[in-house]
Amino acid sequence: MSRVLLCFIFLVLPTCLLMGHAEVVADEATPEMNRQRIQFKSTADGSVQEAMLILPKSKKDLPKAIPMVVSLHSWSGDLKQRNALEKLVHDRGWVYLFPNFRGVNRTPQACGSALAQQDILDAMAWVISHHSIDDDKLYLTGTSGGGHMTLLMASRYPDRWQAASAWVGISDLVAWHARHRDSKYGNMMEQCCGGAPGDSPEVDAQYKSRSPMTYLSGARNVAIDISAGIRDGHEGSVPIRQSIDAFNAIAHARGESGVSVDEIEQLSRPAQLEQAKSGDLGFDSSFDRKYFLRRRSGDARLTIFDGAHEGIASATIAWFESHP
């Protein structure tokens, strides 16, 4: 009988965690994916945290060290969330990690907090210590609130990622609060940050510390793909400027001009650019969509595509595969 099972029988889970073990619970609804829930101890506050883990069905004919995709849930999501990327990762024989990082963004512990960031790092560390993971092939992605956290983690820990893919992410919480002041998202941000922007210096510091814009210069050498549907902000909750500003912060850190204010205003109407540059217009088969702006700065790429508030799993995996 395993030490983990013995620990649970005698109700000493904390001792197991201290010894480097964790609870592993199979998800019987999807046995073909070997989905497991793992529990590990936060190195930040000592609490027990969780993540979903999907391992390859068989390790036969796989390399000794396997790539891992770290996928981050949306603003109002948690471990119950599912997405199409799971199968694409599993089909490639890669490991899929889905941390909870303090769940829904409605408490001070969530929403890009230091605790939430550490949960992601701790979940990764647990998987790396228990499975044959290629530490040079760690990929990061998320949509909406997961895009927010992808931008934040790529900026604060740039050396951890082989590539990252952020979809319709929030880069500036103050600007996003201004749009949603009287909605549920505004209320959720106030729950996380202790109030509305301008309420106090302490509250303002919370918005700043949880906003990727504060740190995005740190992602100037990351292979990060930033994408947004042109109709988001009209048919969704995150205006495309949040993604464009994130890309511009990286471009400016590299001494480049980025997307102009006039171009942002045109695309935000939404409308096509009046004077598109070479490479701005096209069709990407991995997206299966047209795009209306595509720019690069170093290893970063920005795409404003024909869509709304969404992420596209096939394009995410194509970006990762282009950065082996």
Comparison of pLDDT for 81 and 28, the residue scoring more = 81
Residues 172-227 have pLDDT tens digits of 999 999 999 999 999 999 999 999 999 999 999 999 999 999 999 999 999 999 99
pLDDT score for 23:
43
Bond into 201 cis (ω within 30): no
27-321 is classed CATH 3.40.50.1820? yes
pLDDT of 145 over the 80 cut? yes
pLDDT value of residue 63: 64
Instruction: Report residue 156 CA to chain centroid gap.
Output: 13
CB contact at 8 A, 207 and 177: yes
pLDDT of residue 57: 82
Between CA 282 and CA 64 the distance in angstroms is 39
What does the pLDDT look like over 49-63, one tens digit per residue? 999 999 998 766 566
Separation of alpha carbons 179 and 56, rounded Å: 42
- β-partners of residue 126 are none
Question: What is the distance between the alpha carbons of residues 107 and 190, in angstroms, rounded to a whole number?
Answer: 9
103 sits in the region (left: phi over 0; alpha: psi -120 to 50; else beta) called: left
The percent of residues above 90 in pLDDT, for the chain, comes to: 87
* Sequence spans of domains, the chain: 27-321
Place 4 in a pLDDT band, splitting at 50, 70 and 90: very low
SS3 107: coil
Taking each helix axis as running N to C, give the angle between helix 114-130 and helix 145-156, from 0 to 180 degrees, rounded to the nearest 10: 80
Note the pLDDT of residue 64.
79
17 — pLDDT class (breaks 50, 70, 90): very low
Chain segment 257-280, per-residue pLDDT in tens: 999 999 999 999 999 999 999 999
Chain centre to alpha carbon of residue 122? 15
Long-range residue pairs from 275-284, CB within 8 A, at least 24 positions apart, any chain: 284/315
Percent of the chain with pLDDT over 70: 89
Question: pTM of the full predicted structure?
Answer: 0.90
Residue with tokens 């019987």: 28
